[in-house]
Structure 1
């Protein structure tokens, strides 16, 4: 039976994932607080965190639930926010697609922004990595992240409103995404997609139930795809000449 574990690579993944605790902890803590303030029990909050593991989608769903949005809108908005996971999965398939089903299923469960961002950068930097090394690094990154997500969600749910607002725990959300997305803006298509989606999110912020995020995501992806097509055509015409 082939081995899918490489100790040194796994430990390097753990080391690279450790800094994310600084943002995962307050992010999860804030979710636990907001969830209980929204009326969820500790058990419901922890089930939400353990099953979904997607902070942005969880916050979106909670906000819409507080606004008494229709269930269909809540689900659609959460799925739209999490649509990036489908793209993450497609991007990782060439690297982890040869794993047995149960390992791929566990990788899908633990696929979050942090594990994707660091793993793709590592795979690009070291294209000769074996399947065992790629798998070990991926799971190494998530090792310090996942337990802390559970732990701090539980703490937040238990302490609830006792955390003073002056701590401004919500700072973790934008900082996390800036830290992860910044290094990925390597091409004109990436930059164009990011710029258009941010602009649309602001312009359509007036739409009810956070529907502006859905519009921004769709327009941003369309922009990125069109810029890539334009770049490919330009490159092809230059090669032909």
Structure 2
């Protein structure tokens, strides 16, 4: 009878497992970053400013949101508020990761906070739940491994997009990368009724509020989606307790 004992990993093994899990995301990270580089230069940023934008923010969705609003000449307060709202999910990612890597040294947690993105979070949570016996150093190694192919690809592709600029033809359709990335990340995470209801409410609300200026409908949709999901969780918990 085969053993059901979880496989023990070294830190190096955890790192390379993370690298293998993060590698498939290059198919969307590269065109996504390249598209940002192209759009940033089209919006008037030079190559250095575009790279600094990516280096300082390092949050694709927030970068695109801010860039779009800047092109629409939105007030600075709206640009900042919208970018922060889009990135609120990262705060939830951090809270979810804390039980797993919260015991790591402060400098490691600081670096992890900067590099907590959709891909590193999604892969890490799935892996940590699958192998809860992993030590904190092994978890940090896995987290770093996921990022090892993604981070340099993001910067290099951003640079390439900024250098190429308007020479990229529309037929390349690089804008497919953003929705595909989020679909690939979100779909496997819809594991409970609360997740599904939150997603459905957010989708419907975003469609109904598409007319709201400065893309603020997305903030409204996200807020209502989270509220609906949280309320569903409470209802289900009450039913479970009564049962």
TM-score tier after normalising by the smaller chain length: over 0.9
How big is the shift at 1:63? 0.7
CA contact (8 A) 2:66 2:83 kept: yes
Match of 1:198 in 2: 203
Distance 1:214 1:22 in 2: 28
Cross-structure match for 1:112: 117
Counterparts of 2:139 and 2:106 in 1: how far apart (Å)?
16
Indicate the residue corresponding to 1:15 in structure 2: 20
In structure 1, distance between residues paired with 2:207 and 2:129? 33
> What TM-score do the two structures reach when normalised by structure 1?
0.96
Which structure 1 residue ranges, 4+ long, deviate > 4 Å from structure 2? none
Unpaired runs of 5+ in structure 2? 1-9
For the Cα contact (< 8 Å) 2:104–2:137, is it kept in 1?
no
String of CA shifts for 1:48-107, please: whole Å, max 9, x gaps: 001111111111101100111000000000001110000000000001111111110000
SS at match of 2:103: coil
Query: Match of 2:200, SS?
Result: helix
For these two proteins, the number of residue pairs brought into alignment is: 234
- After superposition, the C-alpha distances for 1:121-155 in whole angstroms (9 at most, x for unaligned) are 00111111111111111110011000000000000
1:48 counterpart = 2:82? no
Aligned residue number for residue 37 of structure 1: 42
- C-alpha offsets along residues 180-202 of structure 1, whole Å, 9 cap, x if unaligned? 00110000000000110111111
The secondary structure found in structure 2 opposite 1:16 is: helix
* Residue of structure 2 in register with 1:98 after alignment: 103
1:224 aligns with 2:233: no
The one of 177, 186, 193 aligned to 2:182: 177
Corresponding position of 2:83: 78
Secondary structure of 2:134's counterpart equals coil
Q: In the TM superposition, what whole-angstrom CA distance separates every residue of 1:186-229 from its partner, at most 9, and x where no partner exists?
A: 00000000110111111101000011011001100000000000
Select 2:139's aligned residue among 134, 141, 145. 134
- Give the TM-score, by structure 2 length: 0.95
Aligned to 1:122: 127
d(CA) in 2 for partners of 1:39, 1:233: 54
CA distance in 1: counterparts of 2:202 and 2:28, whole angstroms:
24
Q: Secondary structure at the match of 1:98?
A: coil
- Secondary structure, aligned partner of 2:133: coil
